[in-house]
Amino acid sequence: MIETAKVVIFDFDGVVCDSTNECLVSSWNAWEKWNGRKGFRKSIEPFSSYERDLFRSLRPRVRGAGEYYILRRCLEEKKLIDNQLVYDQFEKKWQEHLQPFKQLFFEVRNRLRKENLDEWIGLHQVFINVISVMKQLICDGRLYVATLKDEESVQLILAKQGLVLPQDRLLGQSQINSKLQALNIISEQTGCGKDDLVFLDDNVTHLLEPKLNGFKVYLTAWNFPFKEYLDLAAQHQIEVVSDCNLLFSKNTSSV
């Protein structure tokens, strides 16, 4: 169970905070630059409610910054993404564009941060109850974060909440390409066996390889995962945590 784990590892986007608004703004700015246009937005105000809702409905499928190319191109070309298989097909088809788009994405994110850090942080909705759990874990020396988000963004957002994470407890996009890689690194660094580690992520596709390789994993559901993700979790016997306050109880439940 989670309460007896020696190390608890959190994904960041969708688990610690909802970064949808920030990713909406940053990906739009990157797409503008990608297409040689000069538009630049600093908030979600210029976006219609339809644009916001549509982006929010697609954003959970993204597994790294480069994949916002897929969302942006599909939105512009009005291509439908209604399941993971369709999304994965687009990812394979446009693979060559993902890395250069990732670089643009981080360029515009850095610009947003530099021009108004507080405004940029305000684009993130932090889950306060998750932060409380993380503060307890860091006091116990049990907390790690494994994310495909850039490390600086994670540290800035956590610091705003009064949580200072030692650098060696954070594995970000410059260090890892997958969550399985992160878990193997943490296992080696800590000397903990797979049974002593617990990993929490809101995207079930990040949990499948770790589960297959013997790690204890949970799908977090407080940020409204797709039904297909819940179904896939059930298929692979991955437990779901619907409330972060239950992380240390035995009330986690299978879907």
Does 85 have pLDDT greater than 60?
yes
At which residue do the structure tokens 């559901």 appear? 221
Domain boundaries, the chain: 2-18+126-246, 20-121
Structure confidence at residue 253 as a pLDDT band (50, 70, 90): very low
How do residues 167-194 score in pLDDT, each as one tens digit? Answer: 999 999 999 999 999 999 999 999 999 9
State percent of the chain over pLDDT 70: 96
Give the whole-angstrom CA distance, residue 18 versus residue 199.
Answer: 18
Please, what is the average pLDDT of the chain?
A: 92
Q: Are 59 and 71 spatial neighbours (Cβ–Cβ below 8 Å)?
A: yes
pLDDT digits (tens, 9 = 90+) for 36-69: 999 999 999 999 999 999 999 999 899 889 999 9
DSSP the chain: -GGG-SEEEE--BTTTEE-HHHHHHHHHHHHHHHTT-----SSSTTS-HHHHHHHHHHGGG--SGGGHHHHHHHHHHT----SHHHHHHHHHHTHHHHHHHHHHHHHHHHHHHHH-HHHHHTTSEE-HHHHHHHHHHHHTT-EEEE-SS-HHHHHHHHHHTT----GGGEE-TTT-SSHHHHHHHHHHHHT--GGGEEEEES-GGGTHHHHHTT-EEEEE-TT---HHHHHHHHHTT-EEE--GGGTTSS--B--
What would be the CATH architecture of the domain defined by 2-18+126-246?
A: 3-Layer(aba) Sandwich (3.40)
Please state, in angstroms and rounded to a whole number, the distance separating the CA atoms of residues 115 and 112: 5
What's the whole-number mean pLDDT along residues 9-26? 96
pLDDT tens sequence across 153-174: 999 999 999 999 999 999 999 9
Residue-wise pLDDT tens digits, 137-149:
999 999 999 999 9
